[in-house]
Structure 1
Amino acid sequence: MLAAMSASPLTPRSPGDACARSSGDACPGALRLHRADDGALARIRIPGGVLTPRQARELGNAAERFGDGELHLTSRGNVQLRGLAPDCGADLAGLLEGAGLLPSQRHERVRNVVASPLSGLDGAGITDVGPWLAELDRLLCASDRATELSGRFLFALDDGRGDVDALGADLTLIGHDAGAALRVGSTDPVFRLPCAEGPRALLVAAGSFLDAAGETGAWRVEDLPGDAGTALADEVVRRLRQAGVTTSPAHRPRPLEARTPVPGPVRGGGREAALSVGVPLGRLDLAQWQLLSSAGEMRLTPWRGVVVTGVALHAAEALTSALAEAGLITGSGSAWAGVGACVGRPGCAKSLADVRAQAGAAVGPRGRLPVYWSGCERRCGHPHGEWIDVVATPDGHRISHVRGDRAGGPVTVRDDPAALAAAVAAARGTGS
């Protein structure tokens, strides 16, 4: 039904509009708390989503001491703490700093880095992005200029499999052939460069963006006017060559769909196991979080999931069973797979509905397409690629089939839970 209708541009283009340019970059961080209807909110940047067991335990302690007792995963592999008291900022910052989660107070909101979560685990990538991640974070925290980046600017480190390259980051470093490739915005061609030069190239590119943004107020590469994005890529190459970095063009279109981790054991061999775990609606209670953090190192994914690494082989089966009993997704057949939602009511004043509860009520047989429920037109945290878009409006829920930056439909369903669930299931199951 939806596919037969004409496609129109998806608006707004990005949930980044939630940070109003007219009032400056108000995106929350660990130090700049955001006032929400359910209390203050802190967003803790976790580059690459990587957490040691100790860091994960301290985050759990923070959620219990200061917040609502839950940890909310974001579409950038970060963690949000909600329900915070407005005067807890200093104590929260001290806890995070002691855990190594706040290496620089000046840079904490610009440490936005997503990375291929299965890199180095399953043999599918070209490059293990771990060394890139450590070096990029070090360079960012050492750069005074990097503090000028907005809290929305995004770096991506893709090991060559095309997963985080599909997320539309501002700057993407990709494992390519025997080296690396740099993508500026969504441009093609990418530019080959030596693997070891990748993190430095990202910092050079970020500085080039800041110069190009100038007085335009652009926070992200896609915000640059006209063909400035293409001009930016050329300028980045010029500066890299000036710095002695050899580059050459290569065609590599940005993937439209991400190869997301499939819930279940990660096949890669070795003495230790890894496990990919889905998190319904990206929300973990303390018991679930503690179960995950006690199992090994955690890699939070941009799809609101977790990859647990370093699991003893003899303990993997028991851990899988325990996680499933705790309500997490440990296999590909879960009805929750592909279901996402923004926080909705009562946490967000702009939301028109409790979309998390509605998404839960509508969960049925697993659909072919992912679905994302939004409480308002901003669609905060929505996925990329192809998905079913469910948006609460004053007239009901609008359902559209999104492909890239265009949406087919829409169809509006009035506030009838049974009719809404049926319409969403039909859209997901047939892709129409």
Structure 2
Amino acid sequence: MLAAMPATRRTSPERPERDEPLVRDRGDACPGALRLHRADDGFLARLRLPGGRLTSHQVEVLATAAEELGDGGIGITSRGNAELRGLGDGCGAELAAVLERAGLLPSATHERVRNIVASPAAGLDGLGHGDVQLWVRALDTLLCATPRAASLSGRFLFVVDDGRGDVAGLGGDVTLLAAEDGDSALLRFAGHTLRVPAADAPHAAVAAALAFLDAAAAAGNGAWRVPELPAGHAPDPAAALAAAGIAAEPVQDPQTPQAAPLAPAPLAPGPLGARALSVLAPLGRLTAAQARALLPAAEVRLTPWRGVVLVEPAAGLATLAAHGLVTAPDTPAAGVTACTGRPGCAKSLADVRAEALRAPAGPLPVHFSGCERRCGHPRPAGTWVDVLAADGGETYLVDGVPTPRTSLPAAIATARTTTR
């Protein structure tokens, strides 16, 4: 079977090649907390959590909902959101009521567009240029208070980086980057970078998103995200900010800081002395018991690397490790993620999560995908090992190279230690 497979050049899942201009003839099908997605293992709900922030009470609510309404687990997405799977028919209203009482559903009209990823350690370890979680809260409030923002796609992404560069490369449609001076922010949008006052950063992000909606309407191609706008229809960020009354100046050749994803370990103590830990969920999924093991904590932040930052937790790393959480960067499970795979997803060609559990350790992240959609893959492109099921799961493509299933661990071990 292996010899019969033609060699193929891998196209980045972030920028698929297209011969024709993309035309979207429908709205996106991304699930939400109110619009559930039917999967082979039941219904799926996705909860947007701006900045990944949860209280201890909200974590307990999700754990209970997972047990009583779903399959008993909480998934962490590549945007730091939470997913409940295996939900039964007719539980949507009950789930919505549970989430609303816990403060997890502040807007029924805007709940799917609250996609805001932020530096998870912002304000905790003193390595960034400010606590941009304050921007996240303001941005979320502004989004929910702007009726037209409800027209954004459920895939449109805001990224808020505290200046260290850990999330700036995650493919945001609108990116805010805290500047070193502490008084300004860099707004990155539609191929431009503009400096705006720090106090205006959340307003600038919303103005940019509305400018995208204007551009998408003018283009008429139903674009869900900024890169999907056809040539000649890019929005003008400077004009959008001027119309919103926000002072802005262009930045030529901006430098992009780059920081590695947050590793499982104690965080460096910050100026306020906050004690915080970073841990990873095995394959990006917490059991209800593992979720409760995180508690109590002053704050819980889900990360885009399918992990959790705990602020002033009661439990230590040894206790969390005993519950099966990934607490050290050199363990095989660190940096290993996978889509749902079989049997939960009808499109998957294999039980990729079972294969992911056999993955050997290595410094590079690795993601297992059951089909070419590569759901939940890491970002940015070229920084992770791509393992794609083929041929009914008897063969996998490791960074595009056909590999028999029996040889998969050795191929992944090599790929995870190959310099990129």
Q: Determine if contact 1:43/1:81 at 8 Å carries over to the other structure.
A: yes
Deviation string for 1:212-269 (max 9, x for gaps)?
00121100001111253xx32xx221121233322112232556x6521121111124
For 1:205-224, what aligned pairs fall within 5 Å after superposition?
Answer: 205-214=208-217, 215-224=220-229
Gaps in structure 1 of 5+ consecutive residues:
15-19, 402-409
Whole-angstrom distance in 1 between the partners of 2:355 and 2:10? 26
The alignment's TM-score, normalised by the length of structure 2, stands at 0.90
Structure 1 residues 118, 11: CA separation in 2 closer, same or farther (over 3 Å shift)? closer
Equivalent of 1:345 in 321, 342, 355: 342
Equivalent of 1:295 in 297, 300, 309: 297
Corresponding residue SS for 1:64 = helix
Equivalent of 1:427 in 390, 415, 420: 415
For 1:125-164, what aligned pairs fall within 5 Å after superposition?
Answer: 125-164=128-167
For 1:86-235, what aligned pairs fall within 5 Å after superposition?
Answer: 86-178=89-181, 179-185=184-190, 187=191, 189-214=192-217, 215-228=220-233, 231-232=234-235, 235=236
Whole-angstrom distance in 1 between the partners of 2:47 and 2:327? 26
Corresponding residue of 1:329: 326
Corresponding residue of 2:404: 414
Whole-angstrom distance in 1 between the partners of 2:113 and 2:14? 23
Whole-angstrom distance in 2 between the partners of 1:252 and 1:259? 19
Deviation at 1:197, TM superposition (A): 0.2
Deviation at 1:346, TM superposition (A): 0.7
Q: Determine if contact 1:172/1:183 at 8 Å carries over to the other structure.
A: yes
Corresponding residue of 1:383: 378
Whole-angstrom distance in 1 between the partners of 2:133 and 2:14? 34
Paired AA for residue 346 in structure 2: A
For 1:364-375, what aligned pairs fall within 5 Å after superposition?
Answer: 364=360, 366-375=361-370
Deviation at 1:6, TM superposition (A): 10
Deviation at 1:332, TM superposition (A): 2.0
Whole-angstrom distance in 1 between the partners of 2:203 and 2:226? 18
The alignment's TM-score, normalised by the length of structure 1, stands at 0.88
Paired AA for residue 180 in structure 1: A
Corresponding residue of 1:404: none
Whole-angstrom distance in 2 between the partners of 1:8 and 1:333? 29
Q: Determine if contact 1:276/1:308 at 8 Å carries over to the other structure.
A: yes
Deviation at 1:163, TM superposition (A): 1.2
Structure 1 residues 254, 217: CA separation in 2 closer, same or farther (over 3 Å shift)? farther
Corresponding residue SS for 2:357 = helix
Whole-angstrom distance in 2 between the partners of 1:12 and 1:142? 31
Paired AA for residue 144 in structure 1: P
Corresponding residue SS for 2:224 = coil
4+ residue stretches of structure 1 with deviation over 6 A? Answer: none
Deviates most, 123-132 or 41-50: 123-132
Deviation at 1:153, TM superposition (A): 0.4
Please identify which structure carries the higher helix content: 1
Pairwise CA RMSD of aligned residues?
A: 2.0
Deviation at 1:22, TM superposition (A): 4.3
Whole-angstrom distance in 2 between the partners of 1:8 and 1:420? 18
Deviation string for 1:108-138 (max 9, x for gaps)?
0001100000000111111211210111111
Deviation string for 1:184-232 (max 9, x for gaps)?
14x2x4100100000101111111000100121100001111253xx32
Corresponding residue SS for 1:210 = helix
Whole-angstrom distance in 1 between the partners of 2:274 and 2:36? 39
Paired AA for residue 192 in structure 1: R
Whole-angstrom distance in 1 between the partners of 2:333 and 2:139? 34
Deviation string for 1:372-414 (max 9, x for gaps)?
100000000111131110000126444344xxxxxxxx21112
Paired AA for residue 119 in structure 2: S
Corresponding residue of 2:264: 263
Aligned residues: 399
Q: Determine if contact 1:156/1:171 at 8 Å carries over to the other structure.
A: yes
Whole-angstrom distance in 2 between the partners of 1:330 and 1:337? 8
Q: Determine if contact 2:330/2:362 at 8 Å carries over to the other structure.
A: no
Q: Determine if contact 2:120/2:303 at 8 Å carries over to the other structure.
A: yes
Q: Determine if contact 1:192/1:249 at 8 Å carries over to the other structure.
A: yes
Corresponding residue of 2:66: 63
Paired AA for residue 428 in structure 1: R
